[in-house]
Structure 1
Amino acid sequence: MGISSDSTVVGVIVAIYYLGCSVGAVLASWYADKYGRKKSIFACLAITTLGNLFMFTSGLGFHKGALVMMMVGRVVMGLGVGGIDAVVPTYSSELSESDARGKALAQEFQMNIFGLNMAFGINLGVTVGLGKDSQVFPVLLMALIELLPESPRFLVMHDRTDDAKASLKRIYGRTDDDAKQKERLEELQKAHENEGASRIAYTDMFSPVHQQFHPTMVVVMGQVNQALTGYGAVSVYGPQIFELLGYAVRVAEYLTQANYLSYLLFMTLAWLLIDAVGRRALMLVNSAGLTGSFVLLCVFGGLASRADQLGIPRQAVAIPGVVTLFVATVNFGVGWLATVWLVPTEIFPTSCRSKGAAVSVVIWGVMNFAVTLVTPILFNGAKYWLFLVFAATNLFAGLWTFLYLPETGNRSFEENQKFFEEAKEAGTWRVSKVARGEYRKLPNIEDEATGETQPLLRRVQDQI
């Protein structure tokens, strides 16, 4: 499109997608609550396909209108993807057992990264083979959605008891007898009755006097902190970072692909550990890992820029820099990718769970819009010093998580909502001061054979 690589328009093209995501999340959550999770997912996939078609059109050689078509395509695709990001985690949590919600969502994110690898690999292959003016148009297999069951919680919420029974049978039919199926249905009905029939609006969720304000702020800060890890920017501008370390453009692109493959492989640790050690532990440990990684990237970036002056072989700095970026990617994937999307689906009642997930996507979209818009400007100006900024923001993210994020793993939706009730009674949001700090860690998991608390290794083996 004739845009120079250091133009601010590049940042706008990348960032405007996230604004579409924010709007799409709100629309899709409303649609999901009214018409069902499955129908909302199908509609979002259709919108995403349309956005890709617009972007495909922008590459056909009509340079006069190409930029406008690309902008429109980015926004439309964002509408669909934002909806997917809001609805799928909610749908996944409502179909999973309390002790497997984390594993289910982490495995989905691993498949998401598999898709990322495919997308980048196709893009790289076509660029190498046909040149940068070529485009690839992905066709999404929307027909697969019809093979999935609808959320039983959604069906109970809409008094569709027979449909809820049928959905439970599709999900658990191979493992449950009729008595167990009946028990599951009664539990869902009781939970719905306890939540009450009152409607919860977005204005309620952001009202300091409303019961849902506290969980909403937990969701907001989770996404703010994920953006502050800086990895969204690192992911988008990965090739430029490898170039900063001294590699040529094509080698930088190959290294980016290798980083994504490492990302995919190590996401296995996320679903093995997320239900075994908890969300908080993963986020805290990997926040520390990201902080250290960005400090090292700042050091290696600075040395790489002065390698000739200092008489240092470029590879002596570039290789440790590459390894550090790979480690940062693993830390983000294991600790901060699935967790912040999972928590919003675990702390709200059914009546506003989709809205909570939508708030999560909106904040994610706004924050990533800001970060990806500013990153190329800062990257061109501050160079490697940008990594030191991300080290500081990771430190803040870890501190906030330690103080205010409750552990939601291996607890029912109702148990997690109880934390916020007890926090209100205690008059504090500090996790350590609510219910004697019991929400700082996973609840004890007993071994079925011995009745004793399961050791960590056994919990990991159970996930396998």
Structure 2
Amino acid sequence: MLRDKLKNKQTQVVLFSSTAIALYGYDQGMMSLINTNYNYLDTMGISETSPMVGIIVSVYYLGCALGAVIASKFADWKGRRPGVFVCVATASVGNLIMFFAGMGPPHNALAVMIAGRIIMGLGVGGLDAVVPVYTSELSEDNARGRALAQEFQANIFGLNMAFITNVIVTHQLGKHNQWAWRSPIMIMQVYPILLFSGTTLLPETPRWLVLDGKNNKAKESIAKVFGKSQVEDRIKELTEAHQVEERKGMVSYADMLIPGRTQWHPTVVTIMGQVNQALTGYGAVSVYGPQIFGLLGFGVTDAEYLTLGNYIFYFCMMTFAWILIERKGRRWLLVTGAFWLSISFALLCLLGGLAMSSQNGTITTSIPLLATGIPGTVILYLATAVFGIGWLVPPWLIPTEIYPSSARAQGAAVSVVVWGFANFAVTLLTPILFNNLDYWLFLIFAATNAIAGLWTFEYCPESGTRTFEENQEFFKKAADEGTWSVRKVAGGEYRKLPDAKGDEDGTGENVRQQGKKDGIKDGEREPLLERPT
């Protein structure tokens, strides 16, 4: 049974994509304890409170932004699968450069580390742009969210693997040993090795093959993944969709980035999704977890173990993300998540203030650590779960659902570029804000989450379980009606999932049957690529 499942191409795509996404998670967890290694800081020639700590972490995101643009163009030119391969190779080279930083002339260590971070960012940013598109183009319409959520659960697995590795080597070797920070970097090579070995097993997406005029190869890909009986129906649907796009013309970055152009509206939705995700503050929590627990009054060792527990809880709770994302929708998860995150950070600000006041002796009655630390830990754990369920996946998923095929990789690239710059700013400023604002940083995150929730409620359409073409129809209707408010476009139809009524089993079958009664052909409602029964 398991062997047969592993031979299934859909399963192989999810496993491969999950491994690629886990590579990004590993980097986040890897740097969180490397930043506090004394040998690493000495080798780089910086202090623990130096702004360079944040710069080394954040330049990676600039590399991600550039890598996303390059990879998206390459994936449109040569294909999704070759794009993934090149990105993996680039990330591997950058990781090796980081490992060797400081082994040569000492005065070059910082420059080598920064170069390695940027090059690795090029590869990982490319993966972040291409992999969601690759997965989305090979998934059913009512399963795209579940597939990507499962892959992002692997992202948290990578984060856990890195942090556990860091904790083990740090406590075995000590914070003054260079191998306590070099070993986690080298272990990261496990991911490129696995990805290289799996690349040859994967199909190219039939959508891209049709887009590139390779219909015969598209037929071979469909037969390999979905069975020979599916070939004629699927190739006809894909060809017709491509002909519609050809009549509209190819989409350029100018069409996406210049106000008033055809793809400006979906691009704003894409940009704001990533900006708002960065404003939730969880890029900072992932990288600077131990320091955040320190603000709640815990010592260094306790803070590290509590961070590890938070990451493990994060991984477990991500299961609810892929359970809920197709049942409740992207928009519901985002708005609800922002609301609870705002409340959580406001409470953390209060508890952090009490903890620091107690430590500094500025109040008459000393407050025990457990009185602030335990509730603060519980709230931070729950807030992390809320972020994982509500905000980790949708900002990456929505751009793969709202653009035409000729702009899907470019839309994902825009998403990664904005994510890169937003997280560059957050991870650069976070250590500075830690040193100057202490617990008041939590209050800033409470406000930014409130802003993120309000914007999403007003302007982000629900794209779940709809076909790519149906999602593009929202933006056409918005232009015709002269409004971007989701409440006003098409009578508020896009505020919720289209199958919210009459699809209690979550499969979409009731909706398809209703569509047949309404005279809608199967091809207009059913996914273009569907696993055969």
Deviation, structure 1 residue 369: 0.6
Structure 1 partner of 2:525 = none
* 2:432 is equivalent to residue 377 of structure 1: yes
Deviation, structure 1 residue 59: 4.9
- Equivalence map 1:340-379=2 (5 Å): 340-379=395-434
- Equivalence map 1:82-97=2 (5 Å): 82-97=125-140
Structure 1 partner of 2:394 = 339
8 A Cα contact 1:233 1:375, kept in partner:
yes
1:328 pairs, out of 371, 383, 406, with 383
1:305 pairs, out of 356, 362, 368, with 356
**Counterpart-to-counterpart distance in 1, 2:199 and 2:348:** 42
8 A Cα contact 1:276 1:460, kept in partner:
no
- Equivalence map 1:436-451=2 (5 Å): 436-444=491-499
1:394 pairs, out of 449, 452, 464, with 449
Structure 1 partner of 2:315 = 264
* 2:176 is equivalent to residue 129 of structure 1: no
How many positions carry a matched residue from both structures? 450
Q: Which amino acid aligns with 2:270?
A: V
2:220 pairs, out of 143, 166, 171, with 166
* 2:110 is equivalent to residue 67 of structure 1: yes
* 2:232 is equivalent to residue 182 of structure 1: yes
Instruction: Single out whichever of 204-213 and 281-290 deviates more from structure 2.
Output: 204-213
8 A Cα contact 1:90 1:353, kept in partner:
yes
SS at match of 1:6: coil
**Counterpart-to-counterpart distance in 1, 2:290 and 2:258:** 43
* 2:102 is equivalent to residue 21 of structure 1: no
**Counterpart-to-counterpart distance in 2, 1:454 and 1:262:** 31
Structure 2 partner of 1:112 = 155
CA displacement 1:384-429 (0-9 Å, x = unmatched): 0011011000000000000000000010000000000000000000
CA displacement 1:335-364 (0-9 Å, x = unmatched): 110100000000000001000000000000
Instruction: Single out whichever of 131-140 and 340-349 deviates more from structure 2.
Output: 131-140
**Counterpart-to-counterpart distance in 1, 2:170 and 2:226:** 46
* 2:510 is equivalent to residue 459 of structure 1: no
Structure 2 partner of 1:231 = 282
Q: Which amino acid aligns with 2:204?
A: E
8 A Cα contact 2:142 2:508, kept in partner:
no
**Counterpart-to-counterpart distance in 2, 1:390 and 1:61:** 41
Structure 2 partner of 1:5 = 48
8 A Cα contact 1:32 1:39, kept in partner:
yes
CA displacement 1:352-381 (0-9 Å, x = unmatched): 100000000000000111111111111110
- Equivalence map 1:213-252=2 (5 Å): 213-252=264-303
Structure 1 partner of 2:122 = 79
Structure 1 partner of 2:328 = 277
CA displacement 1:31-81 (0-9 Å, x = unmatched): 100101111111111111111101100154753221111101110010000
Please provide the CA RMSD for this pair: 1.5
* 2:102 is equivalent to residue 52 of structure 1: no
8 A Cα contact 1:422 1:434, kept in partner:
yes
Which 5+ residue runs of structure 2 have no aligned equivalent? 1-42, 510-533
Deviation, structure 1 residue 460: 9.1
**Counterpart-to-counterpart distance in 2, 1:304 and 1:265:** 29
Compared CA separation, residues 302 and 461, structure 1 to 2 (3 A): farther
SS at match of 2:402: coil
SS at match of 1:16: helix
Question: Normalised by the size of structure 1, how large is the TM-score?
Answer: 0.94
Deviation, structure 1 residue 129: 1.6
* 2:248 is equivalent to residue 201 of structure 1: no
CA displacement 1:227-263 (0-9 Å, x = unmatched): 1111111111110011111222122111111111111
Question: Normalised by the size of structure 2, how large is the TM-score?
Answer: 0.82
1:212 pairs, out of 244, 260, 263, with 263
Identity %: 56
Structure 2 partner of 1:152 = 206
**Counterpart-to-counterpart distance in 1, 2:92 and 2:499:** 45
8 A Cα contact 1:38 1:146, kept in partner:
no
Compared CA separation, residues 188 and 461, structure 1 to 2 (3 A): closer
Instruction: Single out whichever of 152-161 and 189-198 deviates more from structure 2.
Output: 189-198
Instruction: Single out whichever of 86-95 and 119-128 deviates more from structure 2.
Output: 119-128
**Counterpart-to-counterpart distance in 1, 2:304 and 2:98:** 21
Instruction: Single out whichever of 134-143 and 48-57 deviates more from structure 2.
Output: 134-143
SS at match of 1:67: helix
1:429 pairs, out of 479, 484, 497, with 484
SS at match of 1:311: coil
8 A Cα contact 2:94 2:115, kept in partner:
yes
Structure 2 partner of 1:450 = none
